[in-house]
Amino acid sequence: MADVLDQGEVDALLRAMDAQQPEGGPLDLGRGLVATKEVHTYDFKRPERVSKDQMRALESIHEGFSRSLGAALSGLLRTIVEVRVATIEQLTYSEFIHSLPNPTNFNLLTAEPLEGQMCLEISPLIIYPIIDRLLGGTNVGLFIPQRPLTMIELRLVKRITDRALACLTEVWSNLVAVEFKLTETESNPHLVQIVAPNEVVVVIGFELKMATRVGTMSLCIPFNVIEPVMSKLATQGWLAYQRRAATESCAEDIYDSLADARVNVTVYLGETDISVKDLLALQLGDIIQTRKPADDELVLQVEGKNKFAGRMGKLKDNRALRITRRAEIGERL
């Protein structure tokens, strides 16, 4: 073979290189050329099965949960309890379990009609201060024991988990109609295996703060549990659905809350000024003259504010007021 290639052989080699070259950029031929395709590392132990948009939607849902739970715990404990979403990430179930303390308060949950179980873990760093508060303590110099909860302590903690499940049911109802229930409580998380160790789970971490005490709470949601509703977690669809549901449900909730509220209604016959001397001299049969004409309308106030005007009458054996118009805000009584 000749040492020098002719032009036909050079063209043939170039055509062969073009045919073998992948789309997106030149080959690395060891002469300073690099492939233009961007290469990402993929870890098969931790596959990303939930998109970023879906993770943001889950975070938005549980931010609402944290606000509701903070208000519920503040009312129960008679002190300010702050709850916020601290982290949200995808892990394997094995990684989640090994990140938890032992012993801890580990609760297994169901969310019918979704199949499978979820986990709600509450750190002893905040569980024991809450128990101390429920029993009338001040949390001053409180010792955090490294032991499982007793039966009495579990009964007290159930008051916390019941409120957490009620708040979860409320915020998830905007996405899908579910009902969260507590099925079992365990102190050692390593004894519980709700999914395979390498199964993907979404872990939402919360921070609970009560006075000077701070602790964590983790909600573990296996991917196979929420897989049927993942299509509803698109950001735009979720936000639009959330706004529509809030408008309808809030109006009903406000009406239901106010329908049975009792208010004070007062009708004023009139007003006048009188001296203390004349007041002390009043006797049966005396007449007090007011500044309101006899044929004028009377003002009806609701909770001390002018609302309606009407005329005095009688209904059966009771005095009554027939409303004729709305009263002016500054109208004289």
For 239-261, write each residue's pLDDT tens digit.
544 555 556 667 777 877 787 78
User: Which pLDDT value is given to residue 239?
Assistant: 52
Domain edges within the chain: 52-257, 265-326
Three-state secondary structure call for residue 266: strand
User: Which pLDDT value is given to residue 50?
Assistant: 78
- How many CB atoms lie under 10 A from the CB of residue 124? 20
Residue ranges of E strands in the chain? 81-92, 105-112, 117-122, 179-186, 200-210, 213-222, 265-268, 298-302, 305-315, 318-326
Q: Which CATH class is domain 265-326?
A: mainly beta
CATH number assigned to the domain covering 52-257: 3.40.1550.10
Using 50 as the pLDDT threshold, list the residues of the chain that sit under it.
Answer: 1, 24, 27, 29-35, 235-236, 240-241
Q: Are 119 and 186 in contact, with CB atoms under 8 Å apart? A: no
User: Which pLDDT value is given to residue 247?
Assistant: 60
The pTM for the full model equals: 0.58
User: Which pLDDT value is given to residue 209?
Assistant: 92
For 148-170, write each residue's pLDDT tens digit.
989 999 999 999 999 999 999 99
Q: DSSP state, 260?
A: T
